[in-house]
Amino acid sequence: MAGTCPHCGEAMDDGVTTCPHCGREIAQAMTGPLLASEPASSPPVPPVMPVAPPPAPATGGLAVAALVVGIVGVVLSFTVVFGFVLGVAAIVLGAIAMGRARTGAGGKGMGVAGLVLGISAVVFAVLMIVFVVNLGNTFDDQFSNIQFCVDHPHDPSCRDPRVP
Protein backbone atom coordinates (compact mmCIF):
# COMPACT_ATOMS: atom_id res chain seq x y z
CA MET A 1 0.00 0.00 0.00
CA ALA A 2 2.05 2.84 -1.30
CA GLY A 3 -0.44 5.56 -2.25
CA THR A 4 -3.93 6.93 -1.97
CA CYS A 5 -6.52 7.65 -4.64
CA PRO A 6 -6.71 11.40 -5.38
CA HIS A 7 -10.46 11.08 -6.04
CA CYS A 8 -11.80 9.05 -3.10
CA GLY A 9 -8.81 9.10 -0.70
CA GLU A 10 -8.72 5.33 -0.17
CA ALA A 11 -5.41 3.43 0.05
CA MET A 12 -4.30 1.52 -3.04
CA ASP A 13 -1.42 -0.60 -4.28
CA ASP A 14 1.56 0.72 -6.20
CA GLY A 15 1.40 0.59 -10.00
CA VAL A 16 -2.38 0.33 -10.45
CA THR A 17 -3.97 2.50 -13.15
CA THR A 18 -7.53 2.47 -11.78
CA CYS A 19 -8.72 2.84 -8.20
CA PRO A 20 -10.24 -0.44 -6.89
CA HIS A 21 -12.69 1.56 -4.72
CA CYS A 22 -14.10 4.29 -7.02
CA GLY A 23 -13.02 2.88 -10.40
CA ARG A 24 -11.52 6.12 -11.72
CA GLU A 25 -8.37 6.32 -13.82
CA ILE A 26 -5.22 7.25 -11.91
CA ALA A 27 -2.34 9.06 -13.55
CA GLN A 28 1.04 7.34 -13.12
CA ALA A 29 2.55 10.31 -11.36
CA MET A 30 -0.13 10.17 -8.69
CA THR A 31 0.27 6.45 -7.89
CA GLY A 32 3.55 6.80 -6.02
CA PRO A 33 3.84 8.13 -2.48
CA LEU A 34 4.22 11.86 -2.00
CA LEU A 35 7.79 12.97 -1.67
CA ALA A 36 8.77 14.92 1.41
CA SER A 37 10.01 17.81 -0.74
CA GLU A 38 6.56 18.36 -2.30
CA PRO A 39 4.51 20.94 -0.46
CA ALA A 40 1.21 19.86 1.00
CA SER A 41 -1.75 21.06 -0.97
CA SER A 42 -3.12 24.35 0.28
CA PRO A 43 -6.71 24.52 1.47
CA PRO A 44 -9.22 25.45 -1.23
CA VAL A 45 -9.79 29.13 -1.72
CA PRO A 46 -13.39 30.19 -0.98
CA PRO A 47 -15.28 31.64 -3.93
CA VAL A 48 -15.13 35.36 -4.37
CA MET A 49 -18.42 37.12 -3.77
CA PRO A 50 -19.68 38.99 -6.83
CA VAL A 51 -19.42 42.72 -6.75
CA ALA A 52 -22.72 44.56 -6.86
CA PRO A 53 -23.34 46.41 -10.11
CA PRO A 54 -23.17 50.16 -9.96
CA PRO A 55 -26.48 51.80 -9.17
CA ALA A 56 -28.61 52.86 -12.10
CA PRO A 57 -28.65 56.57 -12.82
CA ALA A 58 -31.54 58.37 -11.22
CA THR A 59 -34.42 59.21 -13.51
CA GLY A 60 -36.90 61.85 -12.56
CA GLY A 61 -40.41 60.72 -11.79
CA LEU A 62 -41.78 63.56 -13.89
CA ALA A 63 -39.89 62.28 -16.92
CA VAL A 64 -41.42 58.83 -16.54
CA ALA A 65 -44.85 60.39 -16.02
CA ALA A 66 -44.43 62.53 -19.14
CA LEU A 67 -43.49 59.48 -21.20
CA VAL A 68 -46.41 57.38 -19.95
CA VAL A 69 -48.96 60.19 -20.28
CA GLY A 70 -47.63 60.96 -23.78
CA ILE A 71 -48.00 57.34 -24.90
CA VAL A 72 -51.53 57.11 -23.53
CA GLY A 73 -52.36 60.48 -25.11
CA VAL A 74 -51.23 59.31 -28.55
CA VAL A 75 -53.17 56.07 -28.20
CA LEU A 76 -56.33 57.90 -27.09
CA SER A 77 -55.96 60.87 -29.44
CA PHE A 78 -58.83 59.60 -31.58
CA THR A 79 -61.17 60.54 -28.71
CA VAL A 80 -60.12 64.18 -29.16
CA VAL A 81 -60.80 65.15 -25.53
CA PHE A 82 -58.29 62.68 -24.10
CA GLY A 83 -55.90 63.55 -26.91
CA PHE A 84 -55.93 67.23 -25.95
CA VAL A 85 -55.94 66.77 -22.17
CA LEU A 86 -53.28 64.07 -22.03
CA GLY A 87 -51.23 65.71 -24.79
CA VAL A 88 -51.09 69.03 -22.94
CA ALA A 89 -50.31 67.22 -19.67
CA ALA A 90 -47.45 65.34 -21.35
CA ILE A 91 -46.09 68.59 -22.82
CA VAL A 92 -46.12 70.28 -19.40
CA LEU A 93 -44.60 67.29 -17.57
CA GLY A 94 -41.96 66.82 -20.28
CA ALA A 95 -40.96 70.49 -20.16
CA ILE A 96 -40.65 70.44 -16.37
CA ALA A 97 -38.69 67.16 -16.49
CA MET A 98 -36.27 68.61 -19.06
CA GLY A 99 -35.76 71.67 -16.87
CA ARG A 100 -35.02 69.51 -13.83
CA ALA A 101 -32.69 67.29 -15.88
CA ARG A 102 -30.44 70.29 -16.46
CA THR A 103 -29.92 70.53 -12.70
CA GLY A 104 -28.81 66.88 -12.52
CA ALA A 105 -32.07 65.09 -11.68
CA GLY A 106 -31.76 62.85 -14.76
CA GLY A 107 -34.41 61.68 -17.17
CA LYS A 108 -33.80 64.17 -19.95
CA GLY A 109 -34.39 61.60 -22.70
CA MET A 110 -37.69 60.46 -21.27
CA GLY A 111 -38.71 64.09 -20.77
CA VAL A 112 -38.00 64.84 -24.44
CA ALA A 113 -39.89 61.72 -25.51
CA GLY A 114 -42.87 62.71 -23.35
CA LEU A 115 -42.80 66.21 -24.82
CA VAL A 116 -42.73 64.89 -28.39
CA LEU A 117 -45.49 62.36 -27.70
CA GLY A 118 -47.61 65.09 -26.09
CA ILE A 119 -47.22 67.29 -29.16
CA SER A 120 -48.09 64.29 -31.35
CA ALA A 121 -51.22 63.58 -29.30
CA VAL A 122 -52.42 67.17 -29.71
CA VAL A 123 -51.67 67.12 -33.46
CA PHE A 124 -53.52 63.81 -33.89
CA ALA A 125 -56.51 65.20 -31.95
CA VAL A 126 -56.60 68.27 -34.22
CA LEU A 127 -56.39 66.03 -37.29
CA MET A 128 -59.24 63.95 -35.90
CA ILE A 129 -61.38 67.08 -35.54
CA VAL A 130 -60.56 68.11 -39.13
CA PHE A 131 -61.41 64.60 -40.35
CA VAL A 132 -64.75 64.50 -38.52
CA VAL A 133 -65.75 67.98 -39.72
CA ASN A 134 -64.91 67.11 -43.33
CA LEU A 135 -66.71 63.80 -43.03
CA GLY A 136 -69.77 65.63 -41.66
CA ASN A 137 -69.72 68.13 -44.52
CA THR A 138 -69.49 65.31 -47.05
CA PHE A 139 -72.42 63.46 -45.55
CA ASP A 140 -74.39 66.68 -45.19
CA ASP A 141 -74.00 67.38 -48.91
CA GLN A 142 -75.07 63.85 -49.77
CA PHE A 143 -78.03 63.92 -47.42
CA SER A 144 -79.36 67.15 -48.89
CA ASN A 145 -79.18 65.55 -52.32
CA ILE A 146 -81.00 62.49 -51.01
CA GLN A 147 -83.73 64.67 -49.53
CA PHE A 148 -84.15 66.46 -52.89
CA CYS A 149 -84.47 63.14 -54.69
CA VAL A 150 -87.04 61.92 -52.18
CA ASP A 151 -89.06 65.09 -52.76
CA HIS A 152 -88.62 64.99 -56.59
CA PRO A 153 -88.23 61.32 -57.60
CA HIS A 154 -88.59 61.92 -61.36
CA ASP A 155 -85.98 64.63 -61.66
CA PRO A 156 -83.16 63.62 -64.08
CA SER A 157 -80.43 64.59 -61.59
CA CYS A 158 -81.77 61.96 -59.16
CA ARG A 159 -81.50 59.15 -61.65
CA ASP A 160 -78.92 56.46 -60.79
CA PRO A 161 -76.24 56.52 -63.52
CA ARG A 162 -75.59 52.79 -63.06
CA VAL A 163 -79.16 51.83 -64.05
CA PRO A 164 -79.82 51.87 -67.82
Give 87 or 154, the one with higher predicted confidence. Answer: 87
Q: Would you say residue 32 has pLDDT above 60?
A: no
14-23 average pLDDT score: 80
CA dist., res. 23 & res. 128, Å (int): 81
Confidence of residue 139 (pLDDT cuts 50, 70, 90): low
Question: What's the chain's length in residues?
Answer: 164
- Per-position b or e across 102-127, b if 16+ CB within 10 A of its CB: eeebbbbebbbbbbbbbbbbbebbee
pLDDT of residue 87: 95
The maximal CA–CA distance of the chain, rounded, in angstroms, is 125
First vs last Cα of the chain: how many Å apart? 117
Is residue 21 a contact partner of residue 6, using CB atoms and an 8 Å limit? no
With a pLDDT cut of 70, the percent of the chain lying above it is 82
pLDDT of residue 92: 95
CA dist., res. 155 & res. 125, Å (int): 42
Confidence of residue 93 (pLDDT cuts 50, 70, 90): very high
pLDDT of residue 113: 94
What's at 17, amino acid-wise?
T
Tell me the backbone φ, ψ of residue 6, rounded to 5 degrees.
-70, -15
pTM of the full structure: 0.52
In DSSP terms, 12 is beta-bridged to 3
Confidence of residue 30 (pLDDT cuts 50, 70, 90): very low
pLDDT of residue 36: 46
